[in-house]
Structure 1
Amino acid sequence: MINAPPKKAATSGWTQIPDELLIMIMQKLTLPDMIRFGCVCSSWRSASAPARHGKLPWLMLPYDTLANDGAYGFFSLYDQQFYKLQLPEAAGARIHGSSHGWLVTVHPESGIHLLHPFSRVRIQLPSLSTFPDVLGTFYSNEGGITYVLSSSKGCRAEYGFKWMRDAYIGKFTLSSSPSPSSSSDCIVVATYGERRKLAFCRPWDNRWTAVKTPWDSYEDIIFHMGRLCALDLQRRLVVCHIGYSSRVFEIMPPSTITCGSQWEYLMSRAGELMMILRDVKWISDADGPGRDCSCGLSGNDAMDIANNNEVDESDDHYDRDSSDNDIFLCKTVGFKVYKLDFNSRRWIRVKSLGNTMVFLCESNLLSLPACHFDRNRGDHIYFIDDSCDTYTREHREGVYELCAFKMVDQTIETYFRTDNQMNMPTPIWAAP
């Protein structure tokens, strides 16, 4: 089921403006103005969709799930400004990343949807209760929904909705951007469960279907040249053709690349399958200050500005002098990029990304050609240090930094830092 936002009555004069003139106007607009432009009427919304695709992505910031008001903060790299958008369609939902510009939201009562944050079109997916290892659901005495799962050892286990919403699902990826009028060509793949297995569906399916592979524990998934590529913890790559039945037809041997603590990401660029390794190091907050921020604002200050509130410079979100708080920061120290030679089945080191910009976070990755933008941002990896945690006796506090890694000189620049207690979800790149 596809739910589009209600259409507003359009003034006939606005709808009669020639497309050529609309295009000339849109070429002068920033993304925030482009969104306002699309709100005028349905014809302007349709005209602005292709133009939005040439804009830099926005960083969707953490939010307070307890507020339940559908308000989200967005940081624009283009003007380095913070904006606040209302997305009532995502109120109370857990957002599990973005693919082809669509957010994947998991709602109370098991509902899963694709949501476009800028057009606000929503497409329904099979519910959380239809994944392959969910045996059933029931309502507990506390009034919440409980899921009965088949564990890896063949036993039955029960989990509440909060755990299912926040931890059961790993990553999502889409084969293409779904069309609101016909989404049958779009395939959605997810990693799920404690062992991070694979399942897929189409928007009109009734349930999720398991993808049978020789192993599990998949770290990243992506569609490349129409095929699903999945990378596991041991950097084994599985390439699948997913039709009405899934079939594994090519398996790459384990990579021999080893160099310290790393996280792995897959990227499809110009017909090449690439792997980005992110080198990380755990350090104590007592070891010294973090990186300097180019904009000089914390994320909380930025949200205050987005809300037109005064910034309280004396506000501190936790007591750094308390002996009860042991603070450990997981800092990114660099990246290594490889491309896959399908003939030799070897990963080959790449020293430069050329004119490509990469935008990377915990839940998604996207790349864009820098030639479409005013400033030269090619050969950069924009990333989030999103696994920086403060472990206290009562809760976990998130510490996030938006940074840029320059491939040419291997240096890192920080744009802004946020210190808050809203650790779910981590920041997400949202493409226009």
Structure 2
Amino acid sequence: MGDWTGLHEDLLLLVVGRLPALDLLRFRAVCASWRAAAAYFAARRGSPLPDRPWLLLPTDVAADHDRGRLIAYRDREVPVVTLPARLGRVNPRRFVPLGSARGAIVAADDRGEMHLLNLITGKRRPLPPVATLPLIDRVEGLHVHHHGGGVARIDGLIHKTVPVPTPGGGVMVVAIYRHQQHRRQWATARPGDRAWKSVAPTSIPTVVDVVVHKGQLYANTRYGMMYVFPELRGLGSASPEIIPSVTRRPSAYLERSFLVESPRGELMQVELLRPVAAAGGEGFVVRVLDECSETWEETEDIGDAAVLVDATGAVAASTADCPALRPNTVYFAVDLEGETRVWAYSLAGKHKRIEVVEALPTAEGYKPPCFWFAPVYSQP
């Protein structure tokens, strides 16, 4: 067999341009010359073929012998990727993923430092330490000590982090967190900043999700009320506008509420409703922001799109580009005792039901919650 590391650079670049994101990631891990070809492809802002969102399963199990590697299980309706709990061979610190968007993951390590990780390019950019969040005293390992007492894990303190694009091609990270005896608050930072900047907690009560849509920052609350900031600058002092929400069904209460852009560029509010009186079963409601950005319209038809929901967020994918996913369907991933399950929920029809499409055994030891990762090729 010939030496695969000796393939000509031009041939490697031809191969790189025909790979979807997950295969490109594995291509990079083969050897130095293949990694260099992938880096050159990234530097020229090349884009891999469309790929399905991955279900990431952070785990400690593979950390010792597969440190720095992603283990992929692709022959599934939903690709599953095991994400090691280490930052790599050079820097073997344990880390906890805290959220993802636009092809990047925000993670904290066992020194309380935070990072913006790009799984496709392999780049890591520093964010301010966890200890610079307001009301935090110090960080020891993966635990946070609050002012006035009390200890929590980092992923118990921080509800989620969301990288959002800014004018000029930059990126800003929004951290939604909760201090003991305080409602959820949020702060912002850019890569390279020394400290997190607090957004006035009175601006938006109980925020659970944020997204940038048409250059404006939308914030969703625990109860589905929607706020929008016309500009990304000056969030700490800005007075947001309120978009009226739709009256809820009296027979159900809101379990979770997320924001996500459809492949067609529409802003969607995806809500998980749990019937109060019914003996089990859950349902999803999807609302689309109208063209005037004034009201939300409930829909049972999102066309050739699938929405994938986890405990803290949602991503969307085109089923025309990713035919293994079902159109007009919401996928819901949740960690249960002993396994991780993925349900498929069709929005169409009168008799809706949830179908289990994946059942994965839970890894031993501590494992942060599973989450969806959309392999958007970007340069955060």
Shorter-chain TM-score range: 0.7 to 0.9
TM-score by length of 1: 0.69
Output the CA distance in 1 between the equivalents of 2:49 and 2:197: 31
For the structure 1 residues 188 and 60, does the alpha-carbon distance in structure 2 shift closer, same or farther, using more than 3 Å as the test? same
The SS at the match of 1:353 is coil
For the structure 1 residues 186 and 166, does the alpha-carbon distance in structure 2 shift closer, same or farther, using more than 3 Å as the test? same
- Between Structure 1 and Structure 2, the one with more helix by share is 1
Indicate the residue corresponding to 2:8 in structure 1.
14
Indicate the residue corresponding to 1:266 in structure 2.
259
- The amino acid of 1:425's aligned partner reads P
Map Cα deviations across residues 75-115 of structure 1 (whole Å, 9 max, x no partner).
43666665656574175211112111211111112101111
Map Cα deviations across residues 2-53 of structure 1 (whole Å, 9 max, x no partner).
xxxxxxxx9685323385x336xx53x5655433333413123442774436
Q: Check if 1:42 corresponds to 2:36.
A: yes
Q: Check if 1:426 corresponds to 2:369.
A: yes
Indicate the residue corresponding to 2:321 in structure 1.
372
- The amino acid of 1:60's aligned partner reads L
The SS at the match of 1:265 is strand
Task: Tell me by how many angstroms 1:412 deviates.
Answer: 2.7
Q: CA RMSD in A?
A: 3.6
Map Cα deviations across residues 358-379 of structure 1 (whole Å, 9 max, x no partner).
1211132111222213446321
In the comparison of the two structures, how many residue pairs are matched?
A: 348
Indicate the residue corresponding to 2:145 in structure 1.
147
Output the CA distance in 1 between the equivalents of 2:169 and 2:135: 25
Q: Check if 1:189 corresponds to 2:190.
A: no
Map Cα deviations across residues 273-323 of structure 1 (whole Å, 9 max, x no partner).
22111123699xxx9xxxxxxxxxxxxxxxxxxxxxxxxxxxxxxxxxxxx
Q: Is the 8 A contact 2:226 2:243 kept in 1?
A: yes
Indicate the residue corresponding to 1:316 in structure 2.
none
Task: Tell me by how many angstroms 1:58 deviates.
Answer: 1.3
Indicate the residue corresponding to 1:334 in structure 2.
283
The SS at the match of 2:149 is strand
Output the CA distance in 2 between the equivalents of 1:192 and 1:254: 24
The SS at the match of 1:16 is helix
Task: Tell me by how many angstroms 1:428 deviates.
Answer: 1.2
Indicate the residue corresponding to 1:311 in structure 2.
none
Map Cα deviations across residues 161-205 of structure 1 (whole Å, 9 max, x no partner).
xx2412110111121399xxxx97111111111422121111121
Aligned partner (choices 233, 253, 256) of residue 247 of structure 2: 256
Indicate the residue corresponding to 1:54 in structure 2.
50
The SS at the match of 2:312 is coil
| Identity within the alignment, % | 24
Q: Is the 8 A contact 2:21 2:50 kept in 1?
A: no
- The amino acid of 1:408's aligned partner reads A
Map Cα deviations across residues 63-83 of structure 1 (whole Å, 9 max, x no partner).
238967556654436666656
Indicate the residue corresponding to 2:149 in structure 1.
158
Q: Check if 1:224 corresponds to 2:166.
A: no
Q: Check if 1:402 corresponds to 2:351.
A: no
TM-score by length of 2: 0.77
Indicate the residue corresponding to 1:132 in structure 2.
134
Output the CA distance in 2 between the equivalents of 1:138 and 1:80: 36
Output the CA distance in 2 between the equivalents of 1:406 and 1:138: 44
Output the CA distance in 1 between the equivalents of 2:293 and 2:116: 38
User: Structure 1: which 5+ residue stretches go unaligned?
Assistant: 1-9, 150-156, 288-330, 389-396
Using the TM superposition, name which of 272-281 and 360-369 deviates more.
272-281
The SS at the match of 1:357 is strand
Q: Is the 8 A contact 2:77 2:324 kept in 1?
A: no
Q: Is the 8 A contact 1:95 1:425 kept in 2?
A: yes
Over alpha carbons, which structure has the higher Rg?
Answer: 1
Q: Is the 8 A contact 2:333 2:341 kept in 1?
A: yes
Output the CA distance in 2 between the equivalents of 1:50 and 1:109: 35
Output the CA distance in 2 between the equivalents of 1:87 and 1:424: 9
Q: Is the 8 A contact 1:71 1:88 kept in 2?
A: no
For the structure 1 residues 65 and 30, does the alpha-carbon distance in structure 2 shift closer, same or farther, using more than 3 Å as the test? same
Indicate the residue corresponding to 1:170 in structure 2.
159
Output the CA distance in 2 between the equivalents of 1:280 and 1:207: 39
